[in-house]
Amino acid sequence: MERSERIGLLRREALDPVIDLGEFYYAFCDFYFAHESLSPEKRYAESLFYAFSRITPSISEGELIVGKCDLPLPEEKRRILEDTLLPRLRAHLGDALQGQNSHMAADYDLLLREGTSGVRKRIARLKEENPASLDFYEACETALRAVEHYAARYAGKARSLASAEKDPARKRELEKIASVMDRVPAFPAESFYEAVQSVHFLTHCLTLDPFHPGPMQFQLGRPDRYLLPYYEKDLASGALTREEARLLIDLLAIQINRRVPNGLSSGYMVCGRDGNGNPVANELSMMLMEAVDDVRLVYPSVGFCWTPDTPGEYLEKACSLLLKGLSHPAIFNDDLIARGLVSYGVPEKDSHHYIHSTCVEITPVAASNVWVASPYTNLPGVLLDVMDREYDSFENLTASFFRKLDGLIREHFEEQRRLRAVRAEKGMNPLLSAFVGDCLAQGIDIEKGGARYNWVMPSFVGCANLVDALYALDELVFRRKELTLLSFRAILDKNFEGYEALHRRILTKIPKYGNDDDRIDPLFSRVTRHIAAECAKYATGQKNGRLIPSVFCWVMHERFGRETGATPDGRTAGFPLGDGSGPCQGREAHGPTASILSSTKWDHTPFIGGVAVNLKFSRETLGKNAPELLGGLIRTYMERGGFELQINVVDRETLEDAVRNPALHQDLVVRIGGYSDYFVRLSPEMQAEILLRTAHDLS
């Protein structure tokens, strides 16, 4: 099969994929509730093994990388699952179902180096050294054997298909799949093909988490590092061509779309520095970025980690992809993020080995049980809450706001700590624990605090709205005394109806964050400094259990906006809040340079939980110098201490046509607030918000 035909065939399946985990959950629950007399660990592990032994392996025409769940459960069993088994499981787990999961990358280096059988040998040694954790270790062993048994069944499926295949070329491919699945993930990978397959298959299996029925977003870490030795060896021996390697990477990228529903985020990062501080930049880095263009799906979510000494052609490649209208890669500041991680206790040698755990949240690879965006806080909503009385000064108003915010931070933290304690009591995940340091070394499950890092990352949404609103209040109420605070609040309650002139004046005459204006920009720094200092007061009680802030939004700017009344910055009731850490939609009046200057006047370093700054450029205005201009803007942002930059290059006409004719634009992908999604699948409010974002010239 020709490469383009294969990619096209599998891409069509992945554009609107079937992701059906019903077989797995039915089998797990059926066994789990029939064996209540077993110890908790043994009951879980044996139920997991039983479930993996009952999933029907699925291999599509043209697939070379296998492992997915797309076969529907028979209707009678589905009714039992949905009406009886899952409700019973949820009642059994209670609040242990709450909290975050899967926002991380497992230890793929360990997997490729030792295979699951090698990890089992490691566990056998640890059982002798730490007999107090015997139940945990035996659960890990059973979970690993379950994966091996499942892989063997895939090998059998491929052989069965090969025996019936009439096309000689496809027959050879199926026989190759069978031979690969005979080896991985059970044994150390010996080839590039085996390494790619092993990584995907483990990730597919991790997605099947019976104590968290629902979407999973495991990331693939840094494949331009862990796949590179296999690529170079196979290339040197003649066992692999560059085109074959690129095909396998593209097929890996497609498979992400077969395990993660759209509306979430899953992918990998490339480039940055290694543990010795040297730049990582190689052929795989390029191929892994090019996969975005090759498959043109919502995933992979690719992060390009920039350093000043990353060779220039890698940033040029990133810019060329973005200028085509693709929504990836996002650009991350590797050195700044590493400094932030070191400030939170990560050793220097590990500080460049991180992943954007879905959108922009940073978690150390192979060592994290980090709860990202836990929870989101509506900053403009907090401001409205304290606009319930008069204040004699702007300082007293802001002090009241910060007291209210501090109380919410404390309240939210206590709830997250309670949920983590419930998870520690009732939860377990022995398969994942086998690939997260330091769970095996300590003999402690990841859910019980065994990971090296147990951070909680609250995210604060609408910071730009808050800053614009605070400035407007200071200007109109306290400096000019044109309004009292309560009269302003009454106008907001009327959504500016009858006060249209005031509304226009607020929007057009009062300074806004994002225009390199030192009258207002320092307010953003004041707010973020306060948030970082307040979060630093808290610890969860688990190992490295810090509270680490973020200022990104995923889709919460639209959700919060829907439930928030009009705000003093001129935003009307129900409209989305600002889409990240940059200016609010449509408020940049002085171009992209002014926007990024404002966005880098505050310290991003403490916000390892994630900072997302969006820039949108009009495709109609792209000039011949667009690549150089875009590269220059990115370097300016990074050199000034910017954390992350995400770029949309679209034309309004295409977006408007997609609103009118969604069937013609099913694969149109746009950047939202830290992640990407299919434009036509967004809510009308989110589509309107994207259309309102300022489209800059780049010519």
Along the chain (699 residues), what's the average pLDDT of each consecutive run of 10 residues? 96 95 98 97 98 98 98 96 97 95 97 98 97 98 98 98 98 98 98 98 97 93 98 98 98 97 94 97 98 97 97 97 94 98 97 95 98 96 98 98 98 97 97 98 97 97 98 98 98 98 97 97 98 96 92 90 97 92 88 93 97 86 85 96 93 87 86 80 85 69
pLDDT at 697: 67
Q: Where are the beta strands (DSSP E) in 527-621?
A: 613-618
The Cα–Cα gap between 332 and 153 comes to 40
The Cα–Cα gap between 136 and 597 comes to 51
**DSSP summary character for residue 650:** E
Token duo for residue 686: 């989110």
Token duo for residue 76: 């009678």
Contact by Cβ (8 Å): 491, 476: no
Residue type, 339: R
With H, G, I as helix, E, B as strand and everything else as coil, classify residue 371.
Answer: strand
268, containing H or E segment: strand 267-271
pLDDT at 540: 86
Please name which of 388, 41, 97, 64 lies closest in space to residue 249, comparing C-alpha atoms.
64
User: What is each CA distance from 26 to 52, 54, 210, 397, 426, in whole angstroms?
Assistant: 11, 9, 10, 55, 20
pLDDT at 41: 98
pLDDT at 672: 77
pLDDT at 689: 80
Contact by Cβ (8 Å): 318, 289: yes
pLDDT at 201: 98
pLDDT at 375: 96
Provide φ and ψ at 377, rounded to 5°: -125, 130
Contact by Cβ (8 Å): 240, 192: yes
Helix axes 40-54, 134-164, angle to 10 degrees: 0
pTM: 0.95
Q: How many CA atoms lie within 13 A of 346 on its CB side?
A: 27
Token duo for residue 684: 């009308």
Say whether the peptide bond before residue 592 is cis (omega within 30 degrees of 0).
Answer: no
Please name which of 53, 42, 58 lies closest in space to residue 149, comparing C-alpha atoms.
53
Beta pairing, strands 695-696 & 371-378: unpaired
Contact by Cβ (8 Å): 692, 585: yes
pLDDT at 33: 98
Contact by Cβ (8 Å): 571, 583: no
The Cα–Cα gap between 399 and 394 comes to 9
pLDDT at 83: 98
The count of other CB atoms within 10 Å of the CB of residue 446 is 25
pLDDT at 698: 67
pLDDT at 650: 81
pLDDT at 675: 77
pLDDT at 238: 98
The Cα–Cα gap between 439 and 136 comes to 10
pLDDT at 401: 98
Q: State whether the Cα torsion 2-15-251-291 is positive or negative.
A: positive
Beta pairing, strands 644-650 & 330-333: antiparallel
The count of other CB atoms within 10 Å of the CB of residue 509 is 8
Q: Where are the beta strands (DSSP E) in 462-594?
A: none
Contact by Cβ (8 Å): 658, 680: yes
Contact by Cβ (8 Å): 469, 569: yes
With H, G, I as helix, E, B as strand and everything else as coil, classify residue 539.
Answer: strand
Please name which of 530, 546, 536 lies closest in space to residue 417, comparing C-alpha atoms.
546
